[in-house]
Chains A and B, each alone.
Chain A
Amino acid sequence: MSAVVFAHHRMSPAERVRDAAWVAFVALLLGIPLIGLTTVDAGGRLEVSTRFGMLALFVAIAFGGRIALRATVDHFKARKLARQQARGASEATAASTTRRVSTWLGWFALGASIGLPILFSDNRYVVDTATTVLIYVMLGWGLNVVVGLAGLLDLGYVAFYAVGAYSYAILATEHGWGFWQALPVSGAMAATFGILLGYPILRLRGDYLAIVTLGFGEIIRIILVNWTDFSGGPNGISSIPRPSFFGLEFTRRPAEGEQSFAAFFGLDYSPMQRLIFLYYLILVLALLTHVFVSRLRRLPVGRAWEALREDEIACRAMGMNTTNIKLSAFAIGAMLGGFAGVFFAARQGFISPESFVFTESAIVLAIVVLGGMGSQLGVVLAAALLVLIPEFGRNFAEYRMLLFGAAMVLIMVWKPGGLLSHREPTVRLGQREETPA
């Protein structure tokens, strides 16, 4: 047995030969009946004939193949071991490398996202898809507060997205509010719903929490479907006003007394102007979200969220009010989802309960988990992947979702902790002076 099992120590050449000889011997035993002896049709009856030449070749191949396989496996094992040793020896350098790569990736992503609409200024599809990616990035960053940092599994996140979207839609269509007026109000509305949801489920954790939040998401959607007077029911709300650029509208013929963006800057009217404006709008919103969340993470409240994820009982033993910590996580996460919802309503111009189904929650959660719980950059990568894979998959028609699922499974196999699972400490002893406030 021992000869066939992959040994853990480094083998000497003699051992390699012995190991291969064992395999060759087994091959010989198997090969005698399978290859060495064969039946031939000799004038109507079967005769056994021997093929010892072929058998010898088979045994030789087994011998050589075994040596080659062993050598390859050993080579990779040694490399892995060396990597691990190097990591153990200089964990700090490895961490700082990850940090450097992350920083570099982050700046690259920022540069690319600013430059994208300039490069593709006449490609409606690219700008539209990029906007969708950014909406999911923003949703991912919002949910990251709840799931990634505070460790509260929320399967009904889309509810807050819906609250934000409907708040803006109703404020804008029925009360004539502008985008920028409605944005903070809708965010506050979503945060209120976050607290409303958070309060009854303070004592729940894990699976139970997931089920209740899932139910909450469905309740919101079903209310939107059925309360026709309020939300328009399944027909949704249409002709939601688009945001304007400091009062300049993106229309060919602006309303009486208004000026259009194109006319003001002396440009020819093009529908792309609005798309690119919307793209930059969500980019700014997303970046603000990023700055906000990463600063919060380094504040007491952010550390408290992470501590809550790690051990709730220890939190209480350290004098922390876990009720407030949970509610603040729900409120902040919901508020960010609400902001994304407002943008979504403003971009689409039409919303209906169809847009706020459970699948959306699942996708946002998948973004957070695939990105690496708590990692801001991971969310960006995962959001890009999860939006782009189905887009590329359009060529594969009905296999599209299959491809999507396979990609998710592959990522989870390859990187079980998420794409970027490295956790950056919020404070270090070595750099006390440059601690960000």
Chain B
Amino acid sequence: MSTLLSVRNLTMRFGGLTAIDDLSLEVPAGRITGIIGPNGAGKTTLFNCLTGFYKPTSGTLRLAHPHHGEMRLEALASHKVVRDAQVVRTFQNIRLFPKMTVLENLIVAQHNVLQRASRFSIAGLFGLAAYREAEAAALDRAATWLERLGLVDLADHAAGDLPYGIQRRIEIARALCVDPVLLCLDEPAAGLNPRESAELNELLLYLCRERGVAILLIEHDMSVVMNVSDHIGVINYGRKIAEGTPEAVRNDPQVIKAYLGEDEDEAQAGGAAA
């Protein structure tokens, strides 16, 4: 399996705080990679570095883009990460355009394509055929994803008025409209009920197996992350403490320690040994 994204020695410091400390990670193409770790471990910081919201203190983020060859994500501004490298993210606390309708949210996601077709609004203002075609294509793509995610009936509702679980789905649909090479999902199952999480599992597997989208998944809901991930990386205090298949990670003593803490005896023994 070829590597899509390779994170090498990534470090991110905020003043005295080292949020990510010399982290290296490989994300294979066409697979689901899970990232887990306790709260404050640096998972979202990793996403922010990856998608250009933060500029890493040091380290490299190489993306083997299927069409454009190797790209260095750490050098790109956040909008270019999406526009040029097609690495798209969702947010832990949903960030939709709440007053716009669901359909408009999905159309806005295709801004760059449409803006080019509208020739900086000139062709658009006069309603030229080239722009009309591009808009019809954008609507078709939006409609396809709305249908796949069961959102067609809600297409003309304001996105902010819809229930939380549906907003999560809209955010994923919106990210899919960018036609991602790598989809970074930040806790997509947070706030979902068990049935919705099961639907999410099914969707993630569909995207990965049928559409060939590589997925990087931050998740606390173990029923999601253990069931769908091909590969899991565990982060604690900004360092990678374990990596491997879901089974291997589940039984890793380091991981158990990070999540549950260690027994007092062991801690003392460890302290004495140190």
Size category, A interface: 20 to 34
- The 25 sampled A-B contact pairs (Cβ below 8 Å) are A295-B124, A296-B121, A299-B118, A300-B118, A301-B115, A303-B107, A304-B115, A310-B100, A313-B53, A314-B91, A314-B96, A317-B51, A317-B78, A317-B90, A319-B79, A320-B108, A320-B111, A321-B83, A423-B158, A425-B104, A427-B104, A427-B107, A428-B103, A428-B155, A437-B131
Question: Would you list which residues of chain B between 98 and 132 have a CB under 8 Å from chain A?
Answer: 98-101, 103-104, 107-109, 111-112, 114-115, 118, 120-121, 124-125, 127-128, 131-132
- Whether the pair A319, B108 counts as a contact (CB closer than 8 A) is no
Kindly state whether residue B139 has any CB partner on chain A within 8 Å.
yes
Kindly state whether residue B31 has any CB partner on chain A within 8 Å.
no
Q: Cα distance A21–B178 when bound, in Å?
A: 67
Note all chain A residues with C-beta closer than 8 A to B174.
Answer: 318
Question: Would you list which residues of chain A between 419 and 433 have a CB under 8 Å from chain B?
Answer: 423, 425-430, 432
**Contact indicator per residue, chain A 306-327, by CB within 8 Å of chain B (1) or not (0):** 1100110111111111100000
- Whether the pair A316, B78 counts as a contact (CB closer than 8 A) is yes
Identify 9 new A-B residue pairs, CB closer than 8 A, beyond the known A303-B111, A319-B88, A427-B104.
A299-B118, A300-B115, A301-B120, A304-B108, A315-B79, A318-B88, A318-B109, A321-B79, A429-B146
Note all chain A residues with C-beta closer than 8 A to B121.
Answer: 296, 299-301
Known: A303-B108, A307-B100, A317-B95. A425 touches B79 (CB 8 A): no
- Whether the pair B111, A322 counts as a contact (CB closer than 8 A) is no
Q: Cα distance A228–B114 when bound, in Å?
A: 48
Q: Cα distance A432–B135 when bound, in Å?
A: 10
Q: Cα distance A348–B201 when bound, in Å?
A: 68
Kindly state whether residue B156 has any CB partner on chain A within 8 Å.
yes
Note all chain B residues with C-beta closer than 8 A to A427.
Answer: 103-104, 107, 139
Kindly state whether residue B149 has any CB partner on chain A within 8 Å.
no
Q: Cα distance A50–B119 when bound, in Å?
A: 90
Note all chain A residues with C-beta closer than 8 A to B91.
Answer: 313-314, 317
Q: Could you tell me which B residues sit within 8 Å of A by CB distance? A: 51-53, 78-83, 88-91, 95-101, 103-104, 107-109, 111-112, 114-115, 118, 120-121, 124-125, 127-128, 131-132, 135-136, 139, 143, 146, 152, 155-156, 158, 174, 178
Q: Cα distance A435–B132 when bound, in Å?
A: 9
Kindly state whether residue A111 has any CB partner on chain B within 8 Å.
no
Note all chain B residues with C-beta closer than 8 A to A313.
Answer: 53, 91, 95
Note all chain B residues with C-beta closer than 8 A to A316.
Answer: 52-53, 78-79, 82
Q: Cα distance A432–B107 when bound, in Å?
A: 13
Note all chain B residues with C-beta closer than 8 A to A307.
Answer: 97, 100, 108, 111
- Whether the pair A428, B156 counts as a contact (CB closer than 8 A) is yes
Q: In chain A, what residue has the closest Cβ to B122? A: A299
Known: A299-B121, A317-B78, A430-B156. A437 touches B135 (CB 8 A): yes
Q: Cα distance A318–B78 when bound, in Å?
A: 9
- Whether the pair B108, A432 counts as a contact (CB closer than 8 A) is no
Q: In chain B, what residue has the closest Cβ to A316? A: B78
Q: In chain A, what residue has the closest Cβ to B103? A: A429
Q: In chain A, what residue has the closest Cβ to B139? A: A432
Partner of A296, one of B109, B125, B131: B125
Q: Cα distance A437–B135 when bound, in Å?
A: 8
Q: In chain B, what residue has the closest Cβ to A319? A: B82
Note all chain B residues with C-beta closer than 8 A to A317.
Answer: 51, 78, 82, 88-91, 95
Note all chain A residues with C-beta closer than 8 A to B118.
Answer: 299-301
Q: Cα distance A295–B128 when bound, in Å?
A: 13
**Contact indicator per residue, chain A 134-171, by CB within 8 Å of chain B (1) or not (0):** 00000000000000000000000000000000000000
Q: In chain B, what residue has the closest Cβ to A306? A: B100
Note all chain A residues with C-beta closer than 8 A to B108.
Answer: 303-304, 307, 315, 318, 320
Q: Cα distance A203–B42 when bound, in Å?
A: 26
- Whether the pair B139, A299 counts as a contact (CB closer than 8 A) is no
Note all chain A residues with C-beta closer than 8 A to B127.
Answer: 436-437
- Whether the pair B97, A314 counts as a contact (CB closer than 8 A) is yes
With most chain A CB atoms within 10 A of its CB, the pick from B95, B111, B127, B135 is: B111
The distance from the CB of B140 to the nearest CB of chain A, in whole angstroms, is: 8
Note all chain A residues with C-beta closer than 8 A to B89.
Answer: 317
Q: Cα distance A436–B118 when bound, in Å?
A: 13
Q: In chain A, what residue has the closest Cβ to B157? A: A91
Note all chain A residues with C-beta closer than 8 A to B52.
Answer: 316
Note all chain B residues with C-beta closer than 8 A to A428.
Answer: 101, 103, 155-156
The distance from the CB of A256 to the nearest CB of chain B, in whole angstroms, is: 43
Q: Cα distance A311–B80 when bound, in Å?
A: 18
The distance from the CB of B78 to the nearest CB of chain A, in whole angstroms, is: 4
Partner of B95, one of A92, A295, A296, A314: A314
- Whether the pair B152, A429 counts as a contact (CB closer than 8 A) is yes
Note all chain A residues with C-beta closer than 8 A to B98.
Answer: 310-311
Question: Would you list which residues of chain A between 383 and 431 have a CB under 8 Å from chain B?
Answer: 423, 425-430
Q: Cα distance A435–B134 when bound, in Å?
A: 12
Q: Cα distance A201–B100 when bound, in Å?
A: 26
Q: Cα distance A92–B115 when bound, in Å?
A: 30
Q: Cα distance A430–B136 when bound, in Å?
A: 13
Q: Cα distance A311–B51 when bound, in Å?
A: 17
Q: Cα distance A314–B93 when bound, in Å?
A: 11
The distance from the CB of A100 to the nearest CB of chain B, in whole angstroms, is: 17
